[in-house]
Every structure is written in structure tokens, then in C-alpha cells.
Amino acid sequence: LVKHWRVNREEKYEIVEKWFLKDLEMIDGKEADTDNPYFDMHFHKVYNMEAYSCASKYTFARTLSNLNAKYLKKDLKIVNFDDTYLNDDSIWSSSNRDCLVVMRICFYASNLLCLSLCPLS
């Protein structure tokens, strides 16, 4: 857990608390169908967290999942996250997942805009 604050133009960071991945029991994204940066991490007690953005929350969850799969191979529960953005085998997957998601959303939005401007005959 990192505390962040600003002093004039300088940004300061302080490590407040550390946990081991092996002690993590569950990550709860709270609401899979809304765009929010809040989630809970369940260790011996529940910690309420806030990420910088929803995209960074998903990136964090993907990273923990990948680290768990690579090193621990234990059953890590990740609940209330949209599986489409968590799985490596999804259509949104790439090495730069978040940029690719934004590009595809923009592409679909521009197609909808073009279709809405076409006159109906």
C-alpha cells in the first residue's frame, strides 16, 4: 500500500504496508458492470482500495493473476471483474491491452456515428 501526496510540485510516495501474494485470498472488484476504480483485497482482513482508474484496477488484477499462475499456482479468486478484460485469450488481448481496448471502442463508436449520419432511403 503506497501513500501518495504532493508538496508544491514534487510528488512523494511512502510504502505504508506490504503483503505477500501467497496470503491473498480474493480480489473483489465490487461491481463488474460499472466503471469504478474501487476494489477489495481479502487477506486475513479486508482492505478497501482505490486504483488510479478502472483500467489500472484491471491491469493490477491481471498482473496479480499472472504472478499467481506463474509462481504460486494456487486458486486465487477474482470476483466482480469483467472476464473479457481479465483473460489473455479474449479478443481484447494484446501486449498493450488497455490501448487496444480504447482503439476498438473508438472504432466501433466511429462506425456507429457514420451509420447514424447515413440517410435512410
| Judgement on whether residues 51 and 28 belong to the same structural domain of the protein | yes
Averaged over 91-111, what is the pLDDT?
Answer: 69
Percent of the chain residues past pLDDT 90, beyond the cut: 41
| Judgement on whether residues 77 and 96 belong to the same structural domain of the protein | no
115 or 9, which is more confident:
9
The CATH code of the domain that includes 23 is 2.30.29.90
pLDDT digits (tens, 9 = 90+) for 23-79: 999 999 998 888 889 999 999 999 999 988 888 899 999 999 999 999 999 999 999
| Judgement on whether residues 33 and 80 belong to the same structural domain of the protein | yes
Say if CB 49 and CB 41 are below 8 A apart.
Answer: yes
Which domain covers residue 24, as residue numbers? Answer: 2-86
| Judgement on whether residues 35 and 55 belong to the same structural domain of the protein | yes
Residue 92 pLDDT greater than 70, yes or no = no
Q: Rounded mean pLDDT of the chain? A: 84
How many domains, the chain?
Answer: 2
| Judgement on whether residues 65 and 28 belong to the same structural domain of the protein | yes
| Judgement on whether residues 70 and 112 belong to the same structural domain of the protein | no
Q: pLDDT confidence of 82, banded at 50, 70, 90?
A: confident
Give me the pLDDT at residue 89, please.
59
Residue 95 pLDDT greater than 60, yes or no = no
This prediction's pTM:
0.67
Each residue of 59-92: b (16+ CB within 10 Å) or e?
A: bbbbebbeebeeeeeeebebeebeeebbeeeeeb
CA separation for the pair 79, 32 (Å, rounded): 8
| Judgement on whether residues 110 and 53 belong to the same structural domain of the protein | no
| Judgement on whether residues 79 and 115 belong to the same structural domain of the protein | no
